[in-house]
Structure 1
């Protein structure tokens, strides 16, 4: 009988949370307003950029799986958080278990070695957490271990070096004390955003592995609170809700995808963060969900152009909490959840398996932002009214980091008045 442990994947996103990832091979063109890549560390950049196509493939494959699990509901998750936690787990996995994890993360092991993958994630974490950025983005990895479980020094050393892992001894035989220790840690690390993460903990647990991203960003051009007003949002043919709708008129990156019948608007945050807001035509959401791949984002990026728009976008807070074991199993990560698991790289003996994987993510979108410089504050408007784009029916929100080409968050907002 294998000893089981939990993996908990968390993400807290705050305020106008968005991190700007442009897809691989994005062309910035000559737009002076387009933030440039600030690759300060060339070696790190090369290492983590090797992961880009694989991480993007994983992100959109997982998106398709999660939609099947929770159809017609709000969805919000962090692909980079899930990938990072399982890459870290792969450090302690051996044989088929390790192969399944890495291939399940969309890596082709004939093209990239495990060592390169681990080095890439190490540099990804470092670059995402760069302190000179104008956005606050922290990736934190932690492991809570029962005292009787003695992890190998090599596993802890490698995990600390590559993933900045923090390790804690926890008495799981006293579930209430263990829950308090873990919840207090998570609440502190997410600045109070995530509370009471673990509940009803099994006293048989021997290890909890946690990975989360904390993000806080400001819009490059803020919305004025006095322009926010209640307007209707059409959830479906039968359901209409009232939402606080933010409003801003100006020049926005815009594209209409005729093949997928959707409108794309890109908003920047200060720093390297970017949000793609995607509004499908009525009845076209399912088609968009089923066909969305990294090449789609690339095409949008290549075709965006500046257009004067009257933009209406809801102010909302959503969170997602998912038990994702089943989804990962469908993607080929199977053995690690069974008695076939080989996690002997963690303890030296193959007596561990993962009992369940929990992923939590949250997003707040509001008007906050830093005004553009005074020289550009007074934009000259044409006398004719610009076309209005109103996000008043279900839409997607994709948040990227341009410096690392990372997909930080993927969200589907079906009803912005439902917070969880």
Structure 2
């Protein structure tokens, strides 16, 4: 059994009646937005909810909207996504980034499918279509939204194929009954641990909440080995990296708050610390403690999430694109449209073999004279990361042990 992750993010665009720059780092943009999105989703979902979230596909879709937006709609998207007003650096960086990100290697596969389903009455502007084709690898699919049943079936078939039928139904007839344009971005990831856990070492163990109260039991996986591990004082957390595949191109980074700290506090601290610096801290730890084992305890878990992200994105500063009176997407269409909602369905399953998903600089390294124990028996964060770009593609939180045996 392999570890898997899959996710589908979608935007519904509804028609309405008319009434200088610093050096740009795409990975920093992706990561800053991803940490903020996870943090705000945690705030909205509550402490006890497990979360699976493809932060990258949301960033990707909203960046496409930013390319086609104008005026205040554009400024809000640019500020929240951390992308420049002059999109030239974004476009150039994205081409290289996308080629690097997509992976089909020994033990690891990462795929991304992005499409715009558009009503023939609301065609994409030719100039915008050319932009999408040249830089963003977005497929354009004509759909007859006047037949919602037909449109929903067509979209669901596309999503099912892209997720290996893990998401057979993403939208219903009622979902698309008022839509004029539908954007979707689908992530599929499958990875085998570089060092799989031994199934015979897994055992039932108590899981605690953030107040150190027992809330149930989990199937706790265990192994000891040489893994990048660090105590990072800036975020007040233990950080562990579990690589996938023979070439370690992808990894899961697990972040466990220090005793007395909680997930919300760690996320607030991470907003102030570039995620790339956390990866750098792990790399430095690996070099400094090259021959030292880490005792790893990680629960087997499976999480399914289904979110409407309108409120979350609104809280983050993206407001006008959801407002039928203020949205300006005239760079994409000759008609006035607004984003009625952005939804995402995602799932992650982690076991002894791996994962499947269809998504600090100056850190203090504690002396590891005693082999450290990384025991994830309380709420923790996880991030699926592409190592060469140090970029987050998927993220989430495990809060409770509602996990099938």
| TM-score, length basis structure 2 | 0.81
Is 1:278 the equivalent of 2:255?
A: yes
Q: 2-side partners of 1:122 and 1:97: how far apart?
A: 25
Q: 1-side partners of 2:76 and 2:315: how far apart?
A: 11
Aligned to 1:69: 44
What is the aligned counterpart of 1:221 among 195, 210, 213? 195
Q: Go from structure 1 to structure 2 and tell me whether the alpha carbon gap of 1:161 and 1:134 turns closer, same or farther (over 3 Å shift).
A: farther
Q: Between 74-83 and 281-290, report the one with greater CA deviation.
A: 281-290
Is 1:100 the equivalent of 2:76?
A: yes
Aligned to 2:17: none
**Structure 1 residue runs without a partner (length 5+):** 1-13, 19-47, 371-384
In the alignment, is the contact (CA less than 8 A) between 2:221 and 2:297 conserved in 1? yes
Q: 2-side partners of 1:406 and 1:197: how far apart?
A: 26
Aligned to 1:4: none
TM-superposed deviation, 1:318: 0.9
What is the aligned counterpart of 1:391 among 367, 376, 383? 376
TM-superposed deviation, 1:56: 2.1
In the alignment, is the contact (CA less than 8 A) between 1:16 and 1:367 conserved in 2? no
Q: 1-side partners of 2:402 and 2:60: how far apart?
A: 31
Aligned to 1:212: 186
In the alignment, is the contact (CA less than 8 A) between 2:295 and 2:371 conserved in 1? yes
Measured against aligned partners, the alpha-carbon deviations of 1:371-405 in whole angstroms (never above 9, x if no partner) come to xxxxxxxxxxxxxx955432111111122111222
Aligned to 2:63: 87
In the alignment, is the contact (CA less than 8 A) between 1:16 and 1:368 conserved in 2? no
Aligned to 1:298: 277
SS of alignment partner, residue 252 of structure 1 = coil
Measured against aligned partners, the alpha-carbon deviations of 1:169-212 in whole angstroms (never above 9, x if no partner) come to 22323323222221121011011222311133141211110012
Q: Go from structure 1 to structure 2 and tell me whether the alpha carbon gap of 1:268 and 1:243 turns closer, same or farther (over 3 Å shift).
A: same
Is 1:183 the equivalent of 2:156?
A: yes
In the alignment, is the contact (CA less than 8 A) between 2:151 and 2:176 conserved in 1? no
In the alignment, is the contact (CA less than 8 A) between 1:397 and 1:411 conserved in 2? yes
Q: 2-side partners of 1:341 and 1:284: how far apart?
A: 40
Q: 2-side partners of 1:60 and 1:242: how far apart?
A: 28
SS of alignment partner, residue 328 of structure 1 = helix
Is 1:160 the equivalent of 2:136?
A: no
Give matches, 1:240-251, under 5 Å. 240-251=215-226
Greater than 6 Å deviation, 4+ residue runs:
none
Q: 2-side partners of 1:314 and 1:65: how far apart?
A: 25
SS of alignment partner, residue 304 of structure 1 = helix
Aligned to 1:337: 322
Aligned to 1:320: 305
Aligned to 1:233: 207
In the alignment, is the contact (CA less than 8 A) between 1:264 and 1:300 conserved in 2? no
Q: 2-side partners of 1:249 and 1:331: how far apart?
A: 40
| TM-score, length basis structure 1 | 0.78
Q: 2-side partners of 1:330 and 1:209: how far apart?
A: 22
Q: 1-side partners of 2:97 and 2:24: how far apart?
A: 8
Q: 1-side partners of 2:104 and 2:230: how far apart?
A: 33
Q: 2-side partners of 1:179 and 1:158: how far apart?
A: 27
What is the aligned counterpart of 2:166 among 188, 193, 204? 193
TM-superposed deviation, 1:301: 3.2
Q: Go from structure 1 to structure 2 and tell me whether the alpha carbon gap of 1:258 and 1:159 turns closer, same or farther (over 3 Å shift).
A: closer
Number of aligned residues: 360
Q: 2-side partners of 1:143 and 1:296: how far apart?
A: 31
In the alignment, is the contact (CA less than 8 A) between 1:274 and 1:402 conserved in 2? yes
**Structure 2 residue runs without a partner (length 5+):** 7-22, 356-369
Q: Go from structure 1 to structure 2 and tell me whether the alpha carbon gap of 1:340 and 1:418 turns closer, same or farther (over 3 Å shift).
A: farther
Aligned to 2:359: none
SS of alignment partner, residue 228 of structure 2 = strand
What is the aligned counterpart of 2:398 among 413, 416, 419? 413
In the alignment, is the contact (CA less than 8 A) between 1:221 and 1:369 conserved in 2? no
The root-mean-square deviation of aligned C-alpha atoms, in Å, is: 2.7
